[in-house]
Structure 1
Amino acid sequence: MELENNTRISGFLLLGFSDDPELQPLIYWLFLSMYLITMLGNLLIIVAIISDSHLHTPMYFFLSNLSFVDICFTSITVPKMLVNIQTQSKVITYAGCITQMYFFLLFVELDNFLLAVMAYDRFVAICHPLHYTVIMNRPLCMLLVLVSWVVSILHALLQILMVLRLSFCTELEISHFFCELNQVDQLTCSDVFLNDLVMYFALVLLATVPLAGILYSYSKIISSMHSISSSQGKYKAFSTCASHLSVVSLFYCTGLGVYLSSAATRSSHSSAIASVMYTVATPMLNPFIYSLRNKDVKRALIPLLKVYSTKQSVVLDAEVLRIKNTRLRVFETLIS
């Protein structure tokens, strides 16, 4: 792509994981399977929470929002990669790249804030159980989610406005499967000092504040659990936040692993492979963590699965009956 040294470029090349034609079908079906599992798992969580009145609580309200964000988070990157593999094209337009970066930043920050909000919810439930319904009222829950959206939107908008001021060189190959902010910054011919300053300051601020809130909440939870005399009471208190703690560990460990591996190897290709963990694997695993470790979610999912299996059985029986009637009509025609 021989392009001039200005911001009016036609697009970028997403190099992805491998140029080997034999590996492309494997990569395609692997990521398609992971994407479909992510969509199905998170949609089931959302439908189960909406359909079961017992799950209309702050904890599951935040969980349904997290599942929705995970669906959007994965949908920003994976479908474009699948289309590129299918069409054997690596091109993403300039507008498409900017849009992908914006929504990727938006949803990754929303994941970050929602995990912090869920930690606060568990803190109130365990440390102040008698005042839980008063503190975690519906207006506050709505406000916490709204603030998370507003801050995430403003942060993503700030980062994109900083990118729009850059000029790009003729080398427009991104060694990644999506337009990642740091990768795009490396392709510019402009001075990126201000961009890097804004990017890292916002990253540190918006990552450490929610993480500090999560750590503070769990420090208080652990202190409160020590004051519980019975082992059964301690287990019950721990089980209410075990799923959330697992998701938090998975999200932050994989995200931190990406940036540490990127800094250690200085390889964009290695960074792309590591990014799969928190962009694709984490949203896919979240529904399993919450459904397998949470009795309330499993209880809500069972009727949905029964309804689905019943509908499938009715459809199958109707199809079998149609085939039998067709064969009977054919037989009657032959003997008449």
Structure 2
Amino acid sequence: MIEVEELGEAVEVGNGLSVDDRNRERTGGNGDRGSDEDIEVYNGAAAKRNTARKRRFVFNAKADIVLLRLILVERPFAKEYGRMREAWKNIAEKLVETEILVDDRGARDRYSFLMKMYRKEPQGLRRLGTDEEFEIKEKLLASVCDLIRESKRGKGDASLRGFGQHTPDAEDPRGQGMKRSSGSEEDSFEDRPRKKDRAGRGSSEHTEALYIAHLNRLEETRIAWEKERLLREEQSRKEELKERQLDRREREKERLLREKQLTLERDRINIEAAERAEIRKGEEKRMDLMESMVRILQMTVPKAVGERMHE
């Protein structure tokens, strides 16, 4: 048997087996209608994976946010080696359902790239979207780093607890045998699943609490951005109103100045008209005076001439 790996799925290719034989092997060897439906479902999933492989998806800021949120839910970094790959497959399938056509390796590579940028050059993430998207990605990456630290700390504590429990047994093999044969509640097989369940519930509750806290931080960020936007709009309205008031005052000053200029122009015209009227009256008086003098001369000159002639 030869194993061929495509997009995180192991497909077995048999020597000399036909397609129908391999399909029967996958579906349990039954040839009824149920096996045909299973084959259709398998072929549909394979078609989606082939589409994701053929069409190279270019990540953007929104796709990064979806990927990081799925990583916070699946937590592949906290899984064991055998389950880590399964977690990345689940993430890739959910990404394909949201029209983000990548496989598990592409999702893992993008996650590694984002973590590298966040740790070495966080400002480089700002070039991959808007400021608001950068804030969201930064908070998501911070939550991922917190979960990674919590996971490592939990593994370290578990190893220390295991070391403390097994040290006395290593020193005393007889005590180890007696401990295995004892039916104490602390190490019985009935208690171990409950301990694991409690640990699983605790880690799940811790993850849920971190995710809820992250959502609360996102909501606080959104509210802060909304308040800042409203404040900018209010300041813009105030500045616009102030400019309008200044323009109104300027226009009022210009109107008053024009009215004053018109009043001065009317006064000047009236003064000039009055001066011309005075000049005309003076000229009329001089003309009347000259006419009266001419009449007087006309009356007095002939009399004087006649008197001289009589003499």
Question: Is the shorter-chain TM-score for this pair beyond 0.5, marking a shared fold?
Answer: no
The structure with more radius of gyration:
2
TM-score normalized by the length of structure 2: 0.26
Higher relative contact order (CA 8 A, sep 6+): 1
